């Protein structure tokens, strides 16, 4: 049964944008408040360091925590707590964090809306699929490089190259040149390619993507009722070939549910175990 209404944004996408916006506001307020507090501006509430509300910090301190029971500099118990939540969520639902929660992902999507407005149909189709696929491996290199460096140095080296931290530091924190360059590349890149940072460079996306491959819940296609209209593949921001698989196991899938929403046949593309 065909159920899609043309031109109407599916409710799942509305929910995703709202949830993303809420986490964006929370993380931004917390980060900026902390910088203001460090500058001596008294606020009616206390906020943790921006580094304390990043689940990637759990991975960064993992070696020190397991080997000596200590946390590396700037890492708090909150990082481990968020890391636990992220692990549970990813094992159950894949890289949901990336598609629904990550504030930097949300920021890139907003940049992408501007890019779509500027470029029309050329948006997200300016790089050949072969080059796109090859570049997607870069984030594994980035992840391995920074985890090895962090574990060896026992300090938060990624902070100097973190585009999200650089974005918040524009409000008054210490400016890291590497982070500002990463931020500029990510936002300018996102004008042309959907979620440029997530797609090619994000070390945490590399990890959640790999763990997501073995997650319980994935988008599943019912081949018996599929009409092979390609709507799902065309809707996927990461160009995953959804219409030719029965389970979406790609490490790039961030569970945005664009494919599920695009499917015109009821109960053909669903989230399932």
92 binds other proteins (CB under 8 A): yes
Q: Which one, of 205, 257, 209, lies nearest residue 235 by Cα?
A: 257
User: Which is closer to other proteins, CB of 155 or CB of 222?
Assistant: 155
Closest separation in Å from C-beta 9 to other proteins = 11
73 binds other proteins (CB under 8 A): yes
Distance CA 158, CA 132 (A): 25
Query: Which window, 32-40, 114-122, 191-199, 202-210, contacts other proteins (CB under 8 A)?
Result: 32-40
Question: 4-23: which residues touch other proteins (CB under 8 A)?
Answer: 10-12, 15, 19
Q: Which one, of 50, 53, 24, 56, lies nearest residue 37 by Cα?
A: 50
Among 17, 110, 119, 154, binds other proteins (CB under 8 A): 154
Q: How many residues bind other proteins (CB under 8 A)?
A: 44
Distance CA 226, CA 239 (A): 18
User: Which is closer to other proteins, CB of 35 or CB of 196?
Assistant: 35
Distance CA 273, CA 269 (A): 12
88 binds other proteins (CB under 8 A): yes
97 binds other proteins (CB under 8 A): yes
Hey, what are 227's tokens? 């009409």
CB atoms near residue 191 (< 10 Å): 18
User: Which is closer to other proteins, CB of 133 or CB of 266?
Assistant: 266
231 binds other proteins (CB under 8 A): no
**149 pairs with which residues across the strands?**
none
271 binds other proteins (CB under 8 A): yes
Distance CA 30, CA 168 (A): 10
Q: Which one, of 30, 20, 79, lies nearest residue 55 by Cα?
A: 79
Beta-carbon contacts of 163 under 8 Å, excluding residues fewer than 6 positions away, are 104, 179, 182, 183, 185, 186, 187, 197
84 binds other proteins (CB under 8 A): yes
Greatest distance between any 2 Cα atoms in the chain = 64
Q: Using CB under 8 A as the criterion, what x/- string covers residues 33-72 for binding other proteins?
A: -----xxx-------xx--x-----------------xxx
User: Which is closer to other proteins, CB of 107 or CB of 256?
Assistant: 256
Kindly list the residues in this chain that would bind other proteins in the complex (CB under 8 A).
10-12, 15, 19, 38-40, 48-49, 52, 70-78, 81-82, 84-86, 88-89, 92-93, 96-97, 100-101, 153-155, 174, 217, 255, 257, 260, 270-272
């Amino acid at each position: 049964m065909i159920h899609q209404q043309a031109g109407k944004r599916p409710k799942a996408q509305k929910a995703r944008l709202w949830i993303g916006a809420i986490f964006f506001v929370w993380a931004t307020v917390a980060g900026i408040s902390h910088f203001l507090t460090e500058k001596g501006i008294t606020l009616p509430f206390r906020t943790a360091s921006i580094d304390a509300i990043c689940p990637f910090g759990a991975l960064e301190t993992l070696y020190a925590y397991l080997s000596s029971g200590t946390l590396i500099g700037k890492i708090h118990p909150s990082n481990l707590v968020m890391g636990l939540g992220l692990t549970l969520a990813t094992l159950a639902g894949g890289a949901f964090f990336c598609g629904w929660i990550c504030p930097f992902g949300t920021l890139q999507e907003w940049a992408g809306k501007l890019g779509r407005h500027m470029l029309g149909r050329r948006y997200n189709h300016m790089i050949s699929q072969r080059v796109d696929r090859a570049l997607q491996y870069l984030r594994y290199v980035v992840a391995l490089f920074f985890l090895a460096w962090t574990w060896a140095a026992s300090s938060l080296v990624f902070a100097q190259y973190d585009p999200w931290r650089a974005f918040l530091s524009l409000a008054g924190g210490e400016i890291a040149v590497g982070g500002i360059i990463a931020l500029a590349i990510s936002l300018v890149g996102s004008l042309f390619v959907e979620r440029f940072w997530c797609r090619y460079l994000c070390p945490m996306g590399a990890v959640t993507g790999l763990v997501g491959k073995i997650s319980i819940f994935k988008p599943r296609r019912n081949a018996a009722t599929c009409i092979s209209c390609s709507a799902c593949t065309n809707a996927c921001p990461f160009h995953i070939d959804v219409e030719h698989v029965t389970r979406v196991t790609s490490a790039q899938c961030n569970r945005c549910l664009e494919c599920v929403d695009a499917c015109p046949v009821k109960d053909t593309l669903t989230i399932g175990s």
